[in-house]
Each structure stands twice: as C-alpha cells, then as structure tokens.
Amino acid sequence: MNLTGAEVVVTGASGFCGAAVARAAAAAGARVRCLGRRPGPVGRHVPWDATRDLPDLAGADLVVHLAAAVGDPVPGRAAERAYRAVNIDGTARLLDAAGSRPLVWVSSASVYRPGGAALVTEDHPVDGQLSAYGRTKAAGERLALAAGAVVLRPRAVYGPGDPHLLPRLLRARRAGWLPVPGPDVRLSLTAVENLVDAVLAAPGWPAGPYNVADARPYSRDAVLRGVLAATGAPARLAHLPVGLAGAAATAATTWSRLTRRAPVLTGYAVDQLARDMVLDISRARARGYRPRRTLADHLARLGGEQPGQAG
Ligand SMILES: NC(=O)c1ccc[n+]([C@@H]2O[C@H](COP(=O)([O-])OP(=O)(O)OC[C@H]3O[C@@H](n4cnc5c(N)ncnc54)[C@H](OP(=O)(O)O)[C@@H]3O)[C@@H](O)[C@H]2O)c1
C-alpha cells in the first residue's frame, strides 16, 4: 500500500511501538491520526479510551491497532477485568467502527500455548496462556482474525524507549547478580524497527496471523549479559533450577497480592525465560519481510558489547 497522502489511524501511538509506527508512517508520507488517551509523537490527536468509546475512524485508509493493556500483572480477577476491557472489549469497539477498512492488528507471541515446539509456526495452538495479558490478547486477536485483519505476532520488542523489558530486567538485578531460571535457551526477540517495517508492509499481505521477529534467535544468556553491560549495569548470571525459580515466582506473586505492588517475578516470566521460544518467520518472509535490525545494532548504539546469536 502506498502511504503517501493516505489517512492512517494509529492506536497506541503514545506507547513504545505505536510511537515508532506513527513516526514511520508520517515519514512515509501518510497523514497520521493518533487515537488514544494521550497524543502520539506526530499527527493529529483524537481522544479515545478503548474501554469506553467507539473510535472515530471516518475517512481512514488504514487502521493500525496497537493500543493494549501490556504487562505481567498480579494474577487475579482484577487483572483479567482490566486487561479484558482494553484488549477484548476495546478491540470489539475498534472492529465495529473499522467495518471493511484495511486493518493491521498488532498481537503478540504471548498468545501461543507455552511449550511443545522447537520452532513456533502460526499454526501452533493458541490457548493455555499463563497471564491475563496473553489470554486477553488471544481473545482480542480471535475477533480481529474473524474480521479479516492482518494480525502480527511479535515477541519481546526492544529498542529505544522500551518501557517493559529493560526496566524489568534492571529491577530484577540484585547486588551485581541476575537470577535466571535454568540453563541457557534460544529466544526470538523483535527490534522495534523490524516490527515497524512489518506493520507498514502488512496492509499488502493476505489476512491472517504472521510471526514477526529478528532474522535469527539469540542466546538468552548472551542477551542478558550484553544488555546489562550496555546499560552500565553489568551483572553475573545466577542460574537457578527452574523449579526453584517457579517457587520463587509463586512466593513473589503471593507477596504482591498482599502488598498490591507489581510482582518482581511471575510464573509467566519464568516460563518466558526458561524455555526455547523461537518463532518461525517464514510466512512473513514469503511476503517480503526482511528483518534488518539486530540486538547488536541496538547495543552498539548504546555503546555496549555485542551479544552472541544462537544457531
Ligand atoms: N513491547 C513488547 O515487548 C511487545 C511484544 C509483543 C507485542 N506487543 C504489542 O505491541 C503493542 C504496543 O505495545 P507497547 O510495548 O508499545 O506498549 P505500551 O508502550 O505500554 O503502549 C500501550 C499503548 O496502549 C494504549 N492504551 C492502553 N490502554 C488504553 C485505553 N484504555 N484506551 C486507549 N489506549 C490505551 C496506551 O496509551 P495511553 O496509556 O497513553 O492511553 C499506549 O499508547 C501492544 O498491542 C502489545 O500487545 C508488544
């Protein structure tokens, strides 16, 4: 789709990925309209609360939906309710308003059933999620797929301004040590620039789900060491047995329920770090997706050492 002069609506443009998408769409010549509670970095701001309002999509040539409740909240009914209100009910409102307009719905690899495949294709089962985030993203994406959207499933997006992964990593550091569950594993990660490329190309792809990640998976341990060193917070990795990490997550979650503060560790986080999780990106590649950025590029910008890539 040629974006020059096109009216592109971006939801979630005040957030990490949405801001990058909005900037890139504007740079490609689109007229950008940012729908959200706070303005995006470019374009026209139209107030929208996904939990309440029908969005104004009149005149849009393309809708890119990134607004979501994102995170790893204290498990329980309150989290399910809050995440549902944005990720499912907000999606339903967006789809109502979108009608037959081209729609790119940004999902997440968190929708996949944990475990059971060395290389995760788009046909991997979408159930059994371990967090309110994964469950509600999966339910929202079912609505989007039924409505004929192109659905992108990135995993662990990193880049300048990441409000989720890096801050959490830094919080988990203790006196120069970072506890990690089990031996090293291979993980897919997604540079925000690669996600943006996929989003802007996706309007030309057939409807359906597409994995989106960097070209090759990474060694978890090399990534953790590289990122911590690059941010000036080097740490040694303390490899804990997975069972012990799981027990610590249970204790941390119980503690967070009592204190109503975000848990330092959850079962979902342990699962994300303890298992190989490599996305097969051949479906997107077949449509021309060419991930150009790597974590090494990002770390080089930060002035750190380069992490090793795994096979
Ligand atoms: N970051 C990752 O590692 C990652 C990985 C896979 C998939 N994704 C997906 O990428 C998308 C963007 O994630 P992100 O990392 O950029 O998250 P983020 O920085 O937390 O941004 C979330 C965005 O959603 C908006 N939002 C939340 N509640 C809203 C509501 N009630 N009404 C309107 N807008 C609302 C926020 O806007 P305000 O708070 O300003 O209203 C913000 O712009 C999400 O769909 C997420 O599932 C992210």
Rounded distance from Cα 269 to ligand 1 centre (Å): 18
128 pocket-lining for ligand 1 (C-beta < 6 Å): no
Query: Of 276, 256, 261, nearest to 117 (Cα)?
Result: 276
Per the CB < 8 A criterion, the answer to whether 21 and 3 are in contact is no
Q: Is the CB of 16 under 6 A from ligand 1?
A: yes
What pLDDT is recorded for position 262?
78
**Which residues have CB under 8 Å from 123's CB, separation 6+?**
none
This prediction's pTM: 0.95
Cβ-proximal residues to 310 (8 Å cutoff; 6+ apart), any chain: 186, 216, 217, 218, 219, 222
| Sign of the four-CA dihedral 202, 207, 209, 211 | negative
Query: Residue 106 corresponds to which tokens in the numbers above?
Result: 């940004």
Residues of the chain with pLDDT under 70: 303-311
Which atom of ligand 1 lies closest to the CA of 13?
43
How many residues does this entry show for the chain? Answer: 311
123 DSSP 8-state letter: T
CATH code of 286's domain? 3.40.50.720
State residue 3's pLDDT score. 95
Cβ-based neighbour number of residue 123 at 10 Å:
10
pLDDT tens for 42-79 read 999 999 999 999 999 999 999 999 999 999 888 889 99
Ligand 1 and 306: CB distance under 6 A: no
Tokens of 129: 């999620």
Which pLDDT tens digit goes with each residue over 223-234? 999 999 998 888
Q: How far is the CA of 221 from the centre of ligand 1 (A)?
A: 27
| Domain total of the chain | 1
Atom of ligand 1 nearest to the CA of 18: 16
- The response to whether residue 36 sits with its C-beta less than 6 Å from ligand 1 reads yes
- In the chain, DSSP assigns E strands to 7-11, 31-36, 44-47, 62-65, 103-106, 119-120, 150-154, 157-158, 177-181, 186-187, 190-191, 208-212, 218-219, 236-240, 278-279
In this structure, are residues 90 and 63 in contact, taking their beta carbons and an 8 Å threshold? no
Burial class (CB in 10 A: 0-12, 13-18, 19+), 286: exposed
For the Cβ of 152 lying below 6 angstroms from any atom of ligand 1, the answer is: no
> Is 38 part of any domain?
yes
Which among 63, 23, 62 is positioned nearest to 41, based on CA atoms? 23
Provide long-range contacts, Cβ within 8 A and 24+ apart, for 81-86: 82/132, 83/132, 83/133, 83/135, 83/136, 84/132, 84/136, 84/139, 85/50, 85/51, 86/50, 86/51, 86/136
Its domain, for residue 180, covers 7-302
Letter for the amino acid at 163? P
Tokens of 306: 């380069």
The answer to whether residue 311 sits within a structural domain is no
- For ligand 1, the distance from its centroid to the CA atom of residue 103, given in whole angstroms, is 17
**How far apart (Å, rounded) are the C-alpha atoms in residues 189 and 137?**
18
CA–centroid distance, 70 to ligand 1, in Å, is 6
Neighbours of 13 (CB within 10 A): 29
The answer as to whether 308 is a domain residue is no
- Pick from 205, 22, 5, 41: nearest CA to 122: 205
In a domain, 1, yes or no: no
- Which of 9, 11, 16 maximizes ligand 1 atoms within 8 Å of its Cβ, making it the mutation to test the pocket? 16
